Amino acid sequence: MAVLTYREALNLALREEMRRDPRVFVIGEEVGLYEGAYKVTQGLLKEFGAQRVVDTPIAESGFTGVGIGAAMVGLRPVVEMMTFNFALVAVDQIVNTAAKIHYMSGGQYRVPLVIRGPGGPAAQLGAQHSQSMESYFYHVPGLKVVRPTTPMDAKGLLKAAIRDDNPVIFIESETLYNVKGEVPEDPEFLIPLGRAIVRREGTDVTLVAYMGMMYRAMEVAEELAPEGISIELVDPRTLRPMDAETIIGSVRKTHRAVVVEAGAGFAGMGSEIASFITERAFDDLDAPVERVTGANAPMPYARNLERLKTPSKEKIAAAVRRVCGTNGG
């Protein structure tokens, strides 16, 4: 095992897949000469050249379309969004072409495409650069949606996404790029898409979270353990397809559930997860499913208001205590 940052793990995944398969190439704004806005593509231009690390104009719809066309004729593009908020400029390409061309062509075309970049709450980047975009794409048949939490996830899931024959939305986080963790050095290390992970075993309540909210949930689990509250932490990692079986299995063990997401809440990921828990494990629940979400407001720029917008440890802990207090638990 090597200890790498989240950023380095992504870079290693790209480098290994580009070495393994000459059909893989990277395209996006500043991915080459500048080596990526967040340095995820650092060193790739020097190793693989300008035909496989392609700098583009500021034209998300255009270079996403180039990636889709390249995928349709047999290449495996990795399209970088400088921030996933900019994917809104390319949403017609993603939703109406990438997601649908396999179906509309009667299976004649596949689109083995990865669209990756950072998204979600950052650090004072304002309302237009801090949105949690996963729910925009989760609803679209034909797309897979991935949100990796750890450096190991970043490497294993990105490599699996590049090898997948479907378009994959791969959303990272600016706030995690410097997080360090163990990463397998095996170039064939993959984490299959659609497989959740139990990050901490517990007996009293299942807490479902991903990305930055998982790290916050880990702190809550440590803080509440002395109170006698044992929290099981489940990270979906892939949001579509979602490993509902692992989540449901955990809830049937603990009989309580709290779902945490950084997004604004209404019709978000927490709604979907809480819904299928209630539908499939209602008789196992000793308390209603709690959701802890971001405030239903644009992200403020001011740091103190940014903290109020996103779920805090205090709000997560309060939700856990509420469900564990039901029926005298």
Helices (H) and strands (E) in the chain, counts: 12, 14
Residue type, 137: F
Which residue in the list 60, 272, 290, 306 is annotated as catalytic? 60
> Active-site residue 129, yes or no?
yes
Residues of the chain by 3-state class (helix, strand, coil), percent to 5? 40, 15, 40
200 φ, ψ to 5°? -155, 130
**What tokens were used for 104?**
């509309």
In this structure, are strands 197-200 and 231-235 parallel, antiparallel, or unpaired?
antiparallel
Which residue in the list 8, 29, 102, 129 is annotated as catalytic? 129
How many alpha carbons fall within 13 Å on the CB side of residue 114? 29
130 close to 264: Cβ distance less than 8 angstroms: no
CA distances 288 to 11, 106, 284, 318, 325, Å, are: 42, 43, 11, 14, 11
320 close to 224: Cβ distance less than 8 angstroms: yes
b/e per residue, 168-188, with b = 16+ CB within 10 A? bbbbbbbbbbebebebeeeee
- Reported as type and span, the H/E element at residue 238 is strand 238-240
> Active-site residue 255, yes or no?
no
- As a whole number of angstroms, the distance between CA 287 and CA 284 comes to 9
Q: Active-site residues: which are they?
A: 60, 129
